[in-house]
Amino acid sequence: MARKTKKQDRPRILVVDDEPDVLHTLQEILQFEGYEVDAADSARAALKRLEKTAYAVVLTDVKMPAMDGLEMLARIREGHPELPVVMISGHGTIDMAVEAVKKGAFDFITKPPDLQRLLISIQHALERSSLAQETVRLRRKVRGLREIIGQSEAVQRVKALIDKVAPTEARVLIMGESGTGKELVARWIHEKSRRRGGPFVDVNCAAIPSELIESELFGHEKGAFTHAVKMRVGKFEEASEGTLFLDEVGDMSLSAQAKVLRVLQEKQVARVGGNESIPVNPRVVAATNKNVESEIAAGRFRDDLFHRLAVVVITVPPLRQRREDIPLLIEAFRDEISEDYALPVKTFTPEAMAWLQSLPWRGNVRELRNAVERFVILGSEEITREEAEQLLGRGEDFRIELNIRDLTLKQIADHAARTAVRRYYAYYQDPAEVARLLAVSEADVKRWLADAAEEGPEPAGS
């Protein structure tokens, strides 16, 4: 009996056979059973499809010209180790079946296949595929590895670069504003690399005092300095055979930069207080939220280190440049946080979602996730725009803090007007809308924005 499932919920199966009649028959049978089915008439055509499409099961013939099913099975195991492959053959022997299973086949069926036997095998393969996917999901969750969410062109470019660079040993420099997800990109590079079985070691260069950064990166010997009561292995050693992520590398001192450069060149470290050269072999991925070219011009970052780190540069876009992804991010964060806190899943009115999509999100994805967490904990069952504004503290009641000493009443009023306009414009990004909300002319709004721009950025915490 055919399954009554929505098309997007149907498992997708890839059928591979060089005989057109067999291929067509298998495709029709599986489609009648409710599966989404793609067909390939050769192993090479199947491998190309696997590069572009995710399948739940592969059903393939063994005897095919150019590349047979067993060779294709070996290729699939390299790139898709969890993907179940069911093999069928009209020339099947016990030895061939044993060889196929040893190479990782889920099942081996002789031609012409018994229909009931075939469908049961595929159902069992789908169950294994689902279990494998859930296991991978849970492992990634434990490691803090979330999906890179987004369908925008900017996010697709980032994902494509990750897929290309991850299998290589090339060093990568990830650039982008704070909160855009640079560490997540680094973790996916590691996850998709040949080093994924090794450690992922992250170092926040901005959080470590300059006098301790060398000990952190290279390690130290016992007695190397006060409080060095025992030998410590550095992050370069710890990450050998894995990935070393140097976050906020632009905040590293010039002295530490020089030593990192030498380690990258020589692939050896000497612990602080020691003389022994220790071989190290991490793949280095770095990230910064700074304009590296400006830092180099100002003499705060070494040009030669930049070129060592930036074999491949991946720029992570800010949220304001991919607003179409905001609803997807909100829904994903909502579901994840609701599950973690065992709370009901909230919904958003279209007006609330449109308003959230219009905000500048200067803290990017990190700020958005924090906002969604607040909605999940404090929000109503259905969150309106008005409630979202209140929960984010972005309604019309905001404080203006000002030192009024030596200021005239007009100066205080002008400052309040500029502050109000600046804050409203930051969220609405439309002078006409700001003018309407504040009951002033659009020309006044533009004049106050120009005055605010001359004053410079608004002080933190105001």
Q: pLDDT per position in the chain (462 positions), as tens?
A: 444 444 556 888 999 998 888 888 999 999 988 889 999 988 899 998 888 788 889 999 888 888 888 888 988 888 788 889 998 887 767 777 788 888 888 888 887 878 888 899 899 988 887 887 776 666 666 666 788 999 999 999 999 999 999 999 999 999 999 999 999 999 999 999 999 889 999 999 988 887 788 888 998 888 877 777 788 899 999 999 999 999 999 999 999 999 999 999 999 998 888 888 899 999 999 999 999 999 999 999 999 999 999 999 999 999 999 999 999 999 999 998 998 888 999 999 999 999 999 999 989 999 999 999 999 998 999 999 999 998 887 644 444 444 555 567 777 777 777 777 877 777 667 788 778 777 788 888 888 888 767 655 544 444
d(CA 117, CA 108): 11
The SS3 call for residue 118 is helix
CB 187 within 8 A of CB 145: yes
CATH number of 320-392: 1.10.8.60
Residue 112, preceding bond cis, omega within 30 degrees? Answer: yes
Residue 173 φ then ψ, to 5°: -110, 120
Taking the C-alpha atoms of residue 438 and residue 430, their distance in angstroms, rounded to an integer, is: 12
**Which two tokens mark 95?**
């030895």
Which residue blocks in 359-408 are alpha helix, DSSP H? 364-378, 385-392
Tokens for 308?
């060592």
Q: What angle do CA 163, 187, 150 make, to 5 degrees?
A: 60
Model pLDDT, residue 460 = 42
pLDDT given for residue 3 in this prediction: 44
CA–CA gap between residue 217 and residue 116 (Å, rounded): 60
Which of 381, 317, 387 has its CA nearest to residue 371? 387
- Please identify, in words, the CATH class of the domain defined by 153-317: alpha beta
Q: What pTM was estimated for this model as a whole?
A: 0.62
For 7-141, CATH number?
Answer: 3.40.50.2300
- What is the structure's pLDDT at 141? 63
pLDDT of residue 137: 64
Name the residue type at position 137. R
What does the angle CA 75 – CA 77 – CA 80 come to, to the nearest 5 degrees?
105
The C-alpha atoms of residue 404 and residue 409 are separated, in whole angstroms, by 9
Residue of 309, 314, 209 whose CA lies nearest to 265 = 309
The domain limits of the chain are 7-141, 153-317, 320-392, 409-455
Inter-residue contact 282 to 240 (CB < 8 Å)? yes
26 and 15 in contact (C-beta within 8 Å)? Answer: yes
Q: Are 280 and 236 in contact (CB under 8 A)?
A: yes
pLDDT at 401: 46
Helix axes 326-341, 350-358, angle to 10 degrees: 110
- Give strand pairing partners of 245: 202, 285
With tokens 């203006």, the residue in question is 400
- At 333, list the tokens: 């964060």
Q: CA–CA separation, 13 vs 57, rounded Å?
A: 5
Does 7-141 match 153-317 in CATH topology? yes
* Closest C-alpha among 288, 200, 208 to residue 249: 288
The residues, ordered by sequence, that sit 6+ positions from 111 with a Cβ below 8 Å of its Cβ are 22, 88, 89, 90, 92
For 28-101, strand residue ranges (E) read 36-40, 57-61, 85-89
Q: Report the C-alpha gap between 36 and 322 in whole angstroms.
A: 31
Whether residue 414 contacts residue 440, with contact meaning beta carbons closer than 8 Å, is answered with: no
What six digits make up the tokens of 131?
A: 């279990």
Which amino acid is it at 238? E
